[in-house]
Amino acid sequence: MEKIRTRFAPSPTGYMHIGNLRTALYAYLIAKKDDGDFILRIEDTDQGRLVEGAVNIIYETLKQCGLKHDEGPDVGGDFGPYVQSERMRSGIYSEYAHKLVEMGKAHYCFCKEEDIEAQREKAGDSFYFVDPCKLLDEKQIKEKLDTGEPYVIRLNVEQEGTTSFNDEVYGTITVENKTLDEMVLLKSDGFPTYNFANVIDDHLMQISDVVRGNEYLSSAPKYNLIYEAFGWDIPRYIHCPPVMKDEHQKLSKRNGDASFQDLLAKGYLPEAVLNYIALLGWAPSEDREIYSLDELCKAFDVKRIGTTGAIFDIDKLTWMNGVYLRNMDLDKYYELTRPYITETVGDKLDHELIANAIHDRVNILSEIADMISFFNGVQPFDNEIYNNKKAKTDPQLSKTILEADLTALENLDSWNNDSIFTVLANKAAELGYKNITMMYPLQVALSGRSVAPGGATAIAEILGKVETISRIKDALSRL
């Protein structure tokens, strides 16, 4: 079997959006599943849309995701250059277009764009462009060429018959040739059209599997016509269903939808994002959802890519991100959370203890700030929150409880979660309260919140004895 070679061919127009990244992921998985090559090609022929630094975003994103490319502008390879604008400078597209003319598979067209446009408007929907330039004989063509009349090169398309091709996801697609127009290959400015450049590049780079969005499904037959004209082998096609924002709209950066870097900035992990988007339009054969990139490579199967657009569900991503946070190596978790913790709390408190307290509560890193801000100080709160149904507490009861907590803790020497818990639990038993009744007012006093990470005792441990006593006294003074 020939070596699998897939490519990711983004235009450097800004942030990496999710649908694009998923296409890259699938292309990568398809290649790596069979030990093939994954190639990065930059399609920067649309100079108007170029964005400064966008190429670096592409490199950076692939790196963060672990989608290592075997060939590309930065790492080189045997099929370069890998930047389309550089390839263009070498004149290959023009060369191949002219070659097709020589082969009688394409022709010069001197029609003016405005004229065709006018015809189209007049004819309306039923318009089909029949190129009068096909009737020109060689002498006439030569004359026009010699006088420097601008021209494009168009592919010759037979109006008879049908062309069909097989897509690995959508199956066999057949279209009638008469619906295919004689597409422009080389524009009058000498630039290739996107479609043409794509075919040339894919062929020269020996791409075996073309992975792309399904918006290309209807134009695929056109691509095939070019391959056939050259007598080249047609690659396998894998058209992926779109990633949607809602039932009607695709996810796109145009709508301001979250890009990959937006997600990272919100505290999502690249691994989790990758894992999640793999499941958008593809389902594993086993009953499981958490996959590392390596595991995805093994489990991935083109046959299980779906055909319908999948709505991007941030809630599920958030859940999955939490799973990654909870399952990861503790040291890595500390390292990841440290900046978020020190940013809101400084480095006076033990950040590992804080990290432990929020370990199974954090889903995305950016939640941390709100979760732990009370360590800096208790915000003024309404004594109303001392009311708790389960603890059966109210402000009045809380006052007596806090006094009991205070005396118990003031005499405590060894200060850690266990010792604090033990002494308070004993006190609770002694006074005939349930633990929750003893703890809840303390939690409120220490955090100013009805809901806080860890528990009252974990918070006390982190705050330290002095601050704990001080906060209890402060709370008592307000009751």
Partner RNA sequence: GGUCUGUUGGUGAAACGGUUAACACAUCGCCCUCUCAAGGCGACAUUCAUGGGUUCGAAUCCCAUACAGAUCACCA
> Which is closer to RNA, CB of 49 or CB of 142?
49
Note whether 132 binds RNA by CB under 7 A: no
Contact 260, 273 (CB under 8 A): yes
Contact 84, 197 (CB under 8 A): yes
Among 147, 308, 411, 477, the residue binding RNA under the rule CB under 7 A is 308
Q: What is the smallest separation between the CB atom of 33 and RNA, expressed in angstroms?
A: 18
The whole-angstrom separation of Cα 192 and Cα 88 is 8
Q: 190: number of CA atoms within 13 Å, CB side?
A: 9
Site string for RNA, 200-239 (x = CB under 7 A): --------------xxxxxx--------------------
Interface with RNA: number of residues (CB under 7 A):
88
Site string for RNA, 106-125 (x = CB under 7 A): -----xxx--x---x----x
Q: What is the smallest separation between the CB atom of 294 and RNA, expressed in angstroms?
A: 21
> Which is closer to RNA, CB of 119 or CB of 344?
119
For residue 90 the two structure tokens come to 């070498």
Q: Which amino acid is at 103?
A: M
> Which is closer to RNA, CB of 36 or CB of 459?
459
Distances in whole angstroms, Cα of residue 381 to Cα of each of 444, 450, 469: 9, 10, 18
- Closest alpha carbon to 289 in 319, 250, 315: 319
Among 152, 368, 404, 472, the residue binding RNA under the rule CB under 7 A is 152
Note whether 166 binds RNA by CB under 7 A: no
> Contacts with RNA in 351-370 (CB under 7 A)?
360-361
What are the phi and psi torsion angles at 332 (to 5°)? Answer: -65, -35
> Which is closer to RNA, CB of 257 or CB of 289?
289
Strand locations in 192-235 (E): 209-213
Site string for RNA, 39-68 (x = CB under 7 A): ----x-xx--x-------------------
The whole-angstrom separation of Cα 25 and Cα 211 is 10
Distances in whole angstroms, Cα of residue 261 to Cα of each of 68, 274, 326, 476: 18, 12, 22, 46
CA-based Rg of the chain, rounded to a whole angstrom?
Answer: 32
Question: Of 253, 266, 434, 465, which one is the catalytic site residue?
Answer: 253
Note whether 193 binds RNA by CB under 7 A: yes
Among 145, 283, 330, 429, the residue binding RNA under the rule CB under 7 A is 283
Q: What is the smallest separation between the CB atom of 3 and RNA, expressed in angstroms?
A: 26
Query: How far is the first Cα of the chain from the last one, in angstroms, to the nearest whole number?
Result: 79
SS3 of residue 413 by DSSP: coil
Note whether 285 binds RNA by CB under 7 A: yes
Among 25, 269, 439, 445, the residue binding RNA under the rule CB under 7 A is 439
Task: Name the one range near RNA by CB under 7 A: 53-61, 91-99, 245-253, 346-354.
Answer: 245-253
> Does residue 390 have an active-site annotation?
no
> Which is closer to RNA, CB of 326 or CB of 473?
326
Q: What is the dihedral of CA 370, 374, 376, 377, to 10 degrees?
A: 140
Among 177, 195, 342, 373, the residue binding RNA under the rule CB under 7 A is 195
Note whether 23 binds RNA by CB under 7 A: no
Site string for RNA, 312-351 (x = CB under 7 A): -x-xx-xx--xx--x-------------------------
In SS3 terms, 27-41 reads as: HHHHHHHCCCEEEEC
